[in-house]
Structure formats: structure tokens, C-alpha cells
Structure 1
Amino acid sequence: MRELFKDVFIHESSYVDDNVTIGSGSKVWHFSHILPNCEIGENCSLGQNVVIGPNVVVGNRVKIQNNVSVYEGVTLEDGVFCGPSCVFTNVNNPRSEIARKDEYRKTLVRRGASIGANVTIVCGNELGAYCFIAAGAVVTKSVPAYALMVGAPAKRVGWVSKAGGRLSDDLVCPISGTVYQQTAPNILEEIIK
């Protein structure tokens, strides 16, 4: 089966089901499982004990750390980082005795977002591009692009740049020097020169 995926590393302890595509340069580490009908992009890294799917799309250059399950209804765009043991839900009111597979809510994680260790993302929300969710936060509503979110429930406490630098009041990235501007209470945009 591994010969089906050209230029992809799949550890011998991992399983890849039928109807899965994995882009070149990607790595699937120990004890992971990719369920049917998933698309994994190029140059991705799936850590130990990662479960993807079924029916999940993962973009290019996505890093998913150990012990993460990306359930049906979740889409990760390019460049997303998922920290160890972060949690995605797909139903808001689960019950063991009631099947709710027809009630899955979509969760979209936009390009370049970073999700810290042990974060919980409640389904039905969108995480904006390049947002940063601090370790242990619980995301219960949609998150603006570039937002720095902390706590349970998560609240915006500042802004971060594309490079991951926390922005001070001047909105200049301390890493790259890129300048941003706040155009509305919860909207930050990069100033293109």
C-alpha cells in the first residue's frame, strides 16, 4: 500500500484506508490512522497517534502534533499548526445513546492558524487566517484573522503577525517588521507596500 504514495513516508505502525490522497513530502508517523476519503496536502507532518477523517481535507505544509483527531467536518487550510492533544468537536450536544452523524457542524481553520497544546475547538466555528490560539484555550465562537486568543472561553487579548510575533500598540511585527492596521474592532489587515 505504501507504494501508492510516491515520496511520502508512512510509518509501518500506521494505517491508511482506501480513497486517500497524500501529497509528496508528507510524513505520517507512528500509530496514526487516515480514514477513507481524506485529502492530505504536500509536505505535511502528522505526529504520533493522529487520526484524520473520514472526509477531511488537510492543506499543504500542515503540522499536526501527537494525539490529535481531526474529525469529519473539519478543514485545515495550508500552513495550519495543531499542537499536541488539541481537540476538535463535530457535534455540539453529543450523547452516547443518540446517533448525531447528520448533525455534524463544519469547522474551518484558515491559512497559517496556530492552535496550541490542549486547545478545544467547538464545532461550527471558523478560525481566521494566522490567528494564534494559546495552549489550553476553549474556542466557543469564530476567531478573527491574526487574533491572539486565550482562556476558557477564549477571548481576544491582542494580535499576532503572520510570522507569529505578538503585536504591540504600533502594530509592527517584532520579527519581520511588517506593519498592520486595525480597520474595525475585530479586523486587522496587513499593510502591503
Structure 2
Amino acid sequence: MSVRIQPTSQVDESAELGEGTTIWDLAQIREDARLGRGCIVGRGAYVGPGVRIGDHVKLQNYALVYEPAELGDGVFIGPAAVLTNDFYPRAVDPDGGLKRDGDWEAAGVVVAEGASLGARSVCVAGVRVGRWALVAAGAVVSKDVPDFALVAGVPARRIGWVGRAGVRLVEREGEPGAWECPRTGALHDEKDGALTERN
């Protein structure tokens, strides 16, 4: 299976695209970006210079992934979601001069394996979204999200746990701290605000 690039997209010649990746209309892949195998980049999506993206990642229409973001395998970025990269965004410096590349330091967002960001969610520069976490549509993530956490709101707060299937986990009756996926039956254990999969 070869790479598929729509003619209206812009893919820099230095970008690396894995086998089976598809780049849809009006998407832009900047210089030195690296996408793994089987990725889908939707219409109008943006991938900044040097961004690293794993295998089987989906960037939905108009998602904006600014450098130096890192996305693990199996990550889902919903429509119009934004991964920012500037702690102190300004167009000009204190003297009124236009800021250039050397006038600020980019801080990338890290989205770990299997995590999902809902439509129009925003991740503030420098945050990490944990493995298999789920960020609700419209949420603003301003601090790190634990593995398997379900977060929502502005600012985003944990409102529950999810498993690999993305379904909200249910606490097992008579077993405090034990959580079960109603779809797969997978078990998880909660301790000190963190969730781990049970072997």
C-alpha cells in the first residue's frame, strides 16, 4: 500500500510519510515532519515542522498540530483540535518589534499511545496527555492528563476513567479502586490518582 497525497495538499519534500498514509485536500505537512504507517491527515489539517507522529494516527479535518508536538501510536485528534506551542504568545516584543523564530521557545504537546482529543479541544503548550486518555470535545487542557483519564471542561478536569475501548469505566461493586470496562471486561486498578491495567 503506497502513500496517498491529494493534489491540493502541501507536503514538504523533507517530510517523511509512512507506508499507507493518506494526506487529504488542503492539508499541510511542514519540513522534517515524520508520520508513521497508516496515518490519516484530514482536510485542512496542519502538521508543523519537525512534529513526530506514530503509526495509525488520525488527524481529523482542520486539526492543528504545532511543533514540536509528539503523537504516539494510535492517537486520535478530533476536528479543529489545537495543540499549541507558546507559553507567552505575543505578535510583538515589549518594544513593539515583530517577534521572529528566535524570540521565543516552542514547547510541544505530547499525546501518548491511544489517547484521543475531542473536537475543538485545545492542549496548552507543554502538557502531556497520557496513554489511552480521552479529552472531551471543547475541553481546554492546561495541565498533564493521567493515563486512562476522562477529562472535560475549561479548564479540563478528570471526571472519570476510560479503557482502551474509550468507554467510561465502572467501579466494581464491593471492590473499591477496581474499575471495569463495560464493553471489553478489562480490569483496572486505581491508586493515588493513577489508573493501571490489571494483568
Fold equivalence (TM over 0.5)? yes
Name the aligned partner's letter for residue 17 of structure 1.
D
* SS across alignment from 1:67: coil
Q: Does 1:105 align with 2:100?
A: no
Q: What is the CA deviation profile of residues 20-79 of structure 1, one whole-angstrom value per residue up to 9, with x for unaligned ones?
A: 110111100000111100100000000000111101001000000001111112110100
Aligned partner of 2:145 in structure 1 is 143
2:182 maps to: 174
Q: Distance in 1 between matches of 2:26 and 2:107?
A: 27
CA contact (8 A) 2:66 2:108 kept: no
Q: Please list the CA deviations of residues 55-112 of structure 1 after superposition, one character each: whole Å capped at 9, or x if unmatched.
A: 1001000000001111112110100000000011100111111326441112110000
- What residue is the counterpart of 2:130 in the other structure? 128
For residue 157 of structure 1, give the secondary structure of its aligned residue in structure 2. strand
Q: 1:85 to 1:175 in 2, by over 3 A?
A: same
Matched ranges for 1:11-160 at <5 A: 11-98=6-93, 99=99, 101=101, 102-160=104-162
CA distance in 2, matches of 1:51, 1:136: 19
Q: Classify the secondary structure of the residue corresponding to 1:152.
A: coil
Match of 1:191 among 185, 193, 198: 198
**Matches of 1:160 and 1:64, distance apart in 2:** 21
Q: Distance in 2 between matches of 1:157 and 1:184?
A: 16
Contact kept? 1:35, 1:52, Cα under 8 Å = yes
Question: How many residues are matched?
Answer: 186
Asked if the contact 1:91–1:100 (Cα under 8 Å) also holds between the matched residues in 2, the reply is: no
Give the distance between the partners of 1:132 and 1:70, measured in 2 at CA: 17
- Gaps spanning 5+ residues in structure 1: where? 1-5
In structure 1, what is the equivalent of residue 176 of structure 2? Answer: none
Question: Are the aligned partners of 2:134 and 2:162 in contact in 1 as well (CA < 8 Å)?
Answer: yes
Q: What amino acid is aligned across from residue 113 of structure 2 in structure 1?
A: R
Alignment match, 2:175? none
Moved over 6 A (4+): none
Partner of 1:3: none
